[in-house]
Amino acid sequence: MEIFNIVVLSISGLMLFTLAGLLRLINPIKNYWKNSEIKIENEVNMLSEVRGMSTLMLLGGIVILLGTIIPELTLTSFIVAILLFGGYVQISEPVYTCFRKSLNTSNRKSLLSYL
Q: How many domains is the chain partitioned into structurally?
A: 1
Q: Residue 42: which pLDDT band, with cuts at 50, 70 and 90?
A: confident
Burial zone of 77 (CB within 10 Å; 0-12 exposed, 13-18 middle, 19+ buried): buried
Comparing 19 with 62, the larger pLDDT belongs to 62
Sign of CA dihedral 43, 48, 61, 99: negative
Residue 24 near residue 58, CB atoms below 8 Å: no
pLDDT at 114: 47
- Distance separating alpha carbons of residues 10 and 115, to the nearest angstrom: 35
Which residue stretches of the chain are H helix? Answer: 2-14, 23-26, 28-36, 44-69, 74-104, 111-114
Average pLDDT over the chain reads 76
End-to-end CA distance of the chain: 44
C-beta separation of 50 from 24 below 8 A:
yes
Please determine, for residue 38, whether its predicted confidence score (pLDDT) is greater than 90: no
Of the pLDDT bands very low, low, confident and very high (cuts 50, 70, 90), residue 65 is very high
Domain limits at 50?
Answer: 2-114
